Amino acid sequence: MFDTVCTLPLSSDLFTQAIHPEEPVVSVGLASGHVQTFRLPSLETEEDDDAASNSSARNGKGHIDTMWRTRRHKGSCRTLGFGTDGQVLYSAGTDGLVKAASSETGQVQNKIAIPPMKNGSIDAPTMIHALSPQSLLLGTDSSALHIYDLRIPYSKVSARPEQSHHPHDDYISSLTPLPASDTSTSGFSKQWVTTGGTTLAVTDLRRGVLVRSENQEEELVSSIYMGGLPSSGTSRGEKVIVGGASGILTLWEKGQWDDQEDRIYVDRNADGGDAVEAMAVTPDYMGKVVAAGLGNGKVKFVRIGPNKVFAEVVHDEIDGVVGLGFDVEGRMISGGGQTVKVWHEGENDGDGGSGDEDMMDDSDDDKDSDSEAEPEQREEPRERKKRKKGKSKDQSGGQHVMAFHDLD
């Protein structure tokens, strides 16, 4: 399956992570308000001059480079997301601000003030997603879903979303864009699925909330889209897969949002199961497989079709997995607690790396920064998400290796 090839220690608890859509770059948002961006080494040898002249060149091949680190928010950094081309990184924190920064340097280019609650208090963000170069989606604790036009410069005084909806009665826990239609001229999605509380909803960029499911009698936590599945009858081979708080995946046929179609029990224990906190679709060579990150620190792999768990790895023995995805090189990135782990397809030989403790350059360039990194300030106390993460012990352990195998 997958072997750990590197473990990155963090200075504070991880709240969120984001993976660059075009380069081997990962950003993390921490409970202390820090945002840090790492560059992973490329698996392919690059000898041309253009690659060597890259301003964030892979000059530490085989090592993890910290591109920049800064105290971006006063309070926790709740959510991160790259723009569609990866040039901009959006972050949102419990200080009530969204900041758009260069993913290369960390320099802030734009700010958006999140509309407060009716009583004037901060409506903390829960998720952020760049739907297109024009539209930014922001979900909050109060169940608000704000849509911003990125072509308009915002300020703390004038920030107003173009639209606001309330697709759920509880905070928005996940957002998954649906593919653009065959008639789309832009190629960008205009509809998306959200989960919040015990319901699933579909919203259209122009028409607002289209449909909301019935109460599923379970908290819905995470979601992903998977296409290319076998079609039959009314099924078009497109599904949205939703992770629940009791360790169950539910499958929803695209376009038929009345109720779930299938259920997959990913995790079972005496308490019913740990929450599916994060999900990702694996690379194509694995087939139709979902990686599910659980509140007990495990990542389980589920084959869609047979709807069976067929493998698992352990990110952490105590802390749950809050971030999960795959970079452009096909490596799995898992995050939770105070670590981020990088995995590659393993040979099951029990050796996940060379054992050399070559770490990323964890510089102290950390001051609250609308520019590039500056010296660190004292961290804020940890602030947890509205829904606490599940924790449990797993005695199987896991590999904790500090360098890339065969890349040093």
pLDDT score of 34? 98
- Give which of 222, 280, 319 is closest to 2, Cα–Cα: 280
Q: What value does the mean pLDDT take over residues 61-66?
A: 76
pLDDT score of 233? 60
pLDDT level of residue 74 (50, 70, 90 thresholds): very high
The mean-pLDDT minimum among 109-118, 273-282, 384-393 falls in 384-393
pLDDT level of residue 151 (50, 70, 90 thresholds): confident
Higher pLDDT, 231 or 140: 140
- 370 CB-near residues (< 8 Å, 6+ apart): 99, 107, 108, 111
- Flag whether pLDDT at 355 surpasses 50: no
The mean-pLDDT minimum among 117-121, 145-149, 207-211, 386-390 falls in 386-390
pLDDT level of residue 367 (50, 70, 90 thresholds): low
State the CATH architecture for 2-44+59-345: 7 Propeller (2.130)
pLDDT score of 229? 87
Q: What is the pLDDT of residues 314-325, one digit of tens each?
A: 999 999 999 999
Cα gap 296→90, rounded to integer Å: 28
pLDDT score of 370? 55
pLDDT score of 256? 84
pLDDT score of 373? 43
pLDDT score of 232? 67
Q: What value does the mean pLDDT take over residues 257-279?
A: 87
Mean of per-residue pLDDT scores for the chain: 82
pTM: 0.82
pLDDT score of 197? 95
- If one counts every other C-beta atom within 10 angstroms of the C-beta of residue 406, the result is 10
Contact 48, 30 (CB under 8 A): no
Q: What is the pLDDT of residues 84-130, one digit of tens each?
A: 999 999 999 999 999 999 999 999 998 899 999 989 999 999 999 99
Q: What is the pLDDT of residues 152-209, one digit of tens each?
A: 776 655 568 999 999 999 999 999 999 987 777 777 889 999 999 999 999 999 999 9
The mean-pLDDT minimum among 71-75, 267-271, 327-331 falls in 267-271
- 207 CB-near residues (< 8 Å, 6+ apart): none
Q: What value does the mean pLDDT take over residues 25-49?
A: 83
Q: What is the pLDDT of residues 278-312, one digit of tens each?
A: 999 999 999 999 999 999 999 999 999 999 999 99
- Flag whether pLDDT at 335 surpasses 50: yes
